[in-house]
Amino acid sequence: MEENHIIEVENLYMYFPVTAGVMQKKVADVKAVDGVSFYIKKGETLGLVGESGCGKTTTGRCILQLYEGTKGKVSFEGVDLTKLKKEQMRKMRRNMQLIFQDPFASLDPRMTAGEIIGEPLKVHNLAKGKEYKEQVEELFRMVELEPYMANRYPHEFSGGQRQRIGIARALAVRPKFVVCDEPVSALDVSIQAQIILLLEKLREEMGLTYLFIAHDLSVVRNISDRVAVMYLGKIVEITHSDELYANPLHPYTIALLSAVPIPDPKIDRTRQRIILKGDVPSPINPPAGCRFNPRCQMAIDICREKEPELKLVGEEHLVSCHLVKSSAGIGNPPANQ
């Protein structure tokens, strides 16, 4: 593991069994995550994007060991998390936290905001008495809420305020790595911008590293250093944020970016929109070859027969496509294929 890598994921698989009948016999697997590999550098934000059901959230939860992966390796600062016992993992979790998608469902309605934010401090025995109260007040200020709100219950806050409570709870134990699971998708656009600015500020102040999961490419562009595009359990493209938006290479990434609204109406009228045909195939029975081939306008025979490897085509630019031969873009497939 390289020194500047805080997270390394190697060939991660997460299959959920499908059962049927009175005896609940296993009949198939939902291949939620199917052989994913990537790394996250210390202090950076890696955006993970894709359609609903592509395996983004499952990947994040497997990294935190909330789901026990079917196979594969997840390393945090050189420690293989998949081999840790429960008590060892509980101590390690202080370094890794999760911000949930739904700010209302993730907060206990019977607990006050102060109790919710302070609970991790009690679980990990980090503060008591006066020190506990001071730290809770500091966490409220950190996420731009007033400490006097500590006695209010979740239903007394707005959606944006509830998400700030969720962020404060995640940061209470001073983690090094945070999985942000679509933290702004349930919020109004104006509030989304505030939460993203807050997350960026906290990253700088606390030296945090983020895995930022989202389906909105415009949101990911503003906060991510690098972006990984996921489709049906596989990562199809991963590179620096600016490079991805300026030079997308995988047909799926190109299609996604064509749907992102552009503020300039003149440019918006001239660009080509790519409408994908059909629905996302079932993760229980994914197509042979490239997962994207049934919906790809450029698919050729090899795409239906052989699964493409995630290969390096430029500086830290990896693409999983038979038609991409270099960073120049889509071209003819290599002769040996």
Considering Cα of 144, then 145, then 147, then 153, what sign does the dihedral take? negative
Q: What is the pLDDT of residue 337?
A: 36
Q: What is the pLDDT of residue 336?
A: 38
Query: Strand, coil or helix: what is 70?
Result: coil
Rg over CA atoms, the chain:
21
Between CA 322 and CA 337 the distance in angstroms is 8
Compute mean pLDDT per 10 residues along the chain, 337 residues long, and list them: 88 93 88 94 95 91 93 94 91 91 88 94 87 93 94 93 94 95 86 92 95 88 92 95 92 86 63 76 91 90 92 91 70 41
Helices 159-171 + 113-123 axis angle, to 10: 20
Is the separation of the CB atoms in 112 and 152 below 8 Å? yes
Domain boundaries, the chain: 248-337
Between CA 140 and CA 109 the distance in angstroms is 18
Tell the residue number behind the tokens 């699971």, with chain if given. Answer: 181
Q: What is the pLDDT of residue 271?
A: 64
